[in-house]
Amino acid sequence: MAKEFSAIISGAHSLAALVRRLAALDLTRAWVVTVGQRRPNRTLAQNARYWGVVLRHAAEASGHTVDELHETCKGEILGMERIECLGRVTERPRSTARLDTAEFAAYAQRAEAWLVSELDLRLPAYGY
């Protein structure tokens, strides 16, 4: 059984490699193929501001770790998702990993505003 895979097509060589992988699939089974334009992930500057300034200052002000605050912000801003595993249903905060640059900017702005209001933080100005 073939595992799921994804590919980034950036030229003729990567397109040919993808075609070879698709041609090798077991065609006695049904497959789902989705193609979309690649969206850029968050920038290094966005990530540095969020983790190095916002979460760090919030951790110092609250006594929580940056990881605890990150998980709390994800749940507060992005909401929770239900997952089923080993016959149990649980919830976890939605992930920021697949947010593109614009989506992460919106998330980070909301997280920063929420933490500033919750903790009465004073942070240096920044344009996401």
Query: Which value, to the nearest 10 degrees, does the dihedral of the CA atoms of residues 116, 68, 79, 117 take?
Result: -10
Task: Tell me whether residue 103 is in a domain.
Answer: yes
Single pTM value for the model: 0.69
Report pLDDT digits (tens) over 25-71.
999 999 999 888 877 788 999 999 999 999 999 999 999 999 999 99
Task: Tell me whether residue 128 is in a domain.
Answer: no
Structural domain boundaries, residue 56? 44-119
> What is the total count of domains within the chain?
1
Residue-level pLDDT at 110: 97
Task: Tell me whether residue 27 is in a domain.
Answer: no
> Is residue 128 within 8 Å of 105, Cβ to Cβ?
yes
Task: Give yes or no for residue 2 having a pLDDT over 70.
Answer: no
> Quick count: other Cβ atoms within 10 Å of Cβ 22?
13
Task: Tell me whether residue 99 is in a domain.
Answer: yes
If residue 91 lies in a helix (H) or strand (E), which one and from where to where?
strand 88-93
CA distances from 44 to 47, 57, 121 (A): 5, 18, 23
Report pLDDT digits (tens) over 86-103.
999 999 999 999 899 999
